[in-house]
Amino acid sequence: MKTIAIITAAGKGERMGSKIKKPYLILAGKPILVHAILPFEYSKAINSIIIVTAKGDEDFCLKNIVKRFGFEKVLKIIRGGKERQDSVMSGIMAAGNEWDMVVVHDAVRPFVGKDMIKRVIQAAQKCGAATIAVPVKDTIKQVSSWFVKKTLQREELWAIQTPQAFRFDILKRAHHLAAKQGFIGTDDCMLVERLGHKVAVVKGSYENIKITTPEDLAVGKGILKSRSKKSEARNKKNLALASCLLLLDLCESVSVMMSISL
């Protein structure tokens, strides 16, 4: 089963307040876009990747992202559209029709993992469409004219993230219908829902944040620092275990040698 990933990196990033576009901001020594691509590059579930950039960024992305970091799965780098939805549609059309599955991911979600990608694809293979999401933690209220209109049931509310995975033909049909009707959705699942198709929810991670503001960038640095400490602790634990095993082997060898000498 062939699966292509479409990574959308065409946003302007006005809320970030930076002259550098969000996908190219540096996070722990690498552009955010690089962090986002890496799990897809290493995932066995992904065959190829299409990166959708802002107009005029194609050559920059090729030179400073794809070639510099040696990404081998990137099939094409194409120009995005006015809306995110237009960019995904451009990616679908550029992909051709040889794909069974398609995974759409935001370039500014740098903390996606390979397991997350695998699980959302598996869910989409079963029912045609799936998204990564997490249960909301806060109480959510519907507000109108600065007054609370209604308190929503938190138990039924999930914060939707990416990656989102679909059967290729379903997502293509959903985008064609939306374009024909002039409908703009907030994510790709919304377009598929309009077809009357169910979308499965796969539990993700609260670390899988979307970096859109300077505050998000600070949180992202904290996540990477925490991950680094956990990795260091695991390495120390593994080293201690290896040392113990080596010591046990040594003791066993000495014991055998003493038995032979006696």
Lowest-pLDDT range of 25-34, 63-72, 153-162, 241-250: 241-250
C-alpha closest to that of 46 among 69, 73, 79: 73
**pLDDT on residue 17:** 67
Examine the pLDDT at 64 and tell me if it is beyond 80. yes
Q: Which fold does the domain 3-212 belong to in CATH?
A: Spore Coat Polysaccharide Biosynthesis Protein SpsA; Chain A (3.90.550)
Quote the CA–CA distance of 111 and 35 in Å, as a whole number.
7
**pLDDT on residue 20:** 86
Quote the CA–CA distance of 25 and 36 in Å, as a whole number.
12
Strand partners, 43: none
For the chain, domain boundaries: 3-212
**pLDDT on residue 230:** 61
**pLDDT on residue 250:** 64
Mean pLDDT of 91-104: 97
Collect all residues with Cβ–Cβ distance below 8 Å to 192 and sequence separation of at least 6: 128, 129, 166, 170, 171, 174, 199
Write out pLDDT tens, residues 196-210: 999 999 999 999 999
- What's the pLDDT band for 237 if we cut at 50, 70, 90? low
Tokens linked to 107: 């370039």
Mean pLDDT of 138-156: 95
